[in-house]
């Protein structure tokens, strides 16, 4: 992992984070679903009300990936957990250890904050990621099914 450095993201990284988000969406075949702008990233990640955080991975002083995370809470454990919203490494830099370095960095944050869990989701077709996650000891959580209210359905439900 020589040449790798993980650093806290700053508001000056907003355009870079937006670029990585767009690249991730292309990889996940969902480019048209990215509605966020650079200004949205600035406000949401770095604004006064932000509850999210981000880190940037550099390889030989070049930004090659990022992770966005936040803290959730487990009532059963009575502890916070760290939830990884997104992790992305540029295709040309995969294999240098950037993804593993990002995950280790976040795992250390989780332990330093006394979190009971470190969780994330992965698309069911993303076999390379699934193999990688299993190789580091992560286990799939298949007993829960995720649900989402968004857009029109969220507005209608909240207003009704």
Structural domains of the chain, ranges and CATH numbers in brackets: 4-159 (3.40.630.30)
Q: What is the pLDDT of residue 104?
A: 97
The angle subtended at Cα 150 by Cα 56 and Cα 147, nearest 5°, is 85
User: Per residue in 54-88, pLDDT tens?
Assistant: 999 999 999 999 999 999 999 999 999 999 999 99
Q: What is the pLDDT of residue 2?
A: 72
* Torsion on CA atoms 3, 15, 108, 145, rounded to nearest 10: -130
Which residues touch 123 (CB under 8 Å, ≥6 apart)?
28, 129
pLDDT band at residue 1 using 50, 70 and 90 as cut-offs? very low
Phi, psi of 34 (to 5 degrees): -80, 110
Q: What is the pLDDT of residue 19?
A: 98
Which among 128, 52, 37 has a CA at the least distance from the CA of 86?
Answer: 52
Q: What is the pTM of this model?
A: 0.93
User: Per residue in 94-152, pLDDT tens?
Assistant: 999 999 999 999 999 999 999 999 999 999 999 999 999 999 999 999 888 889 999 99
Per 3-state DSSP, the chain is made up of helix, strand and coil in percentages (nearest 5) of: 40, 25, 35
User: How many other CB atoms are found less than 10 A from the CB of residue 86?
Assistant: 17
Q: Which two tokens stand for residue 62?
A: 């070049």
Catalytic residues: 133
């Amino acid at each position: 992992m020589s040449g790798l450095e993980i650093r806290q993201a700053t508001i000056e990284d907003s355009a870079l984070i937006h670029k990585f988000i767009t690249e991730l969406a292309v990889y996940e075949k969902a480019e048209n679903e990215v509605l966020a702008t650079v200004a949205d990233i600035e406000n949401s990640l770095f604004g006064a009300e932000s509850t999210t955080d981000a880190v940037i991975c550099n390889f030989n002083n070049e930004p090659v990936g990022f992770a966005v995370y936040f803290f959730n809470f487990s009532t059963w454990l009575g502890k916070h957990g760290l939830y990884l919203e997104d992790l992305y490494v540029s295709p040309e830099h995969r294999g240098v250890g950037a993804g593993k370095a990002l995950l280790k960095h976040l795992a250390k944050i989780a332990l330093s904050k006394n979190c009971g869990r470190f969780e994330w989701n992965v698309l069911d077709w993303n076999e390379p990621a699934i193999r990688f996650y299993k190789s580091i000891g992560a286990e799939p959580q298949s007993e829960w099914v995720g649900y989402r209210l968004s857009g029109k359905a969220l507005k209608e439900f909240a207003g009704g």
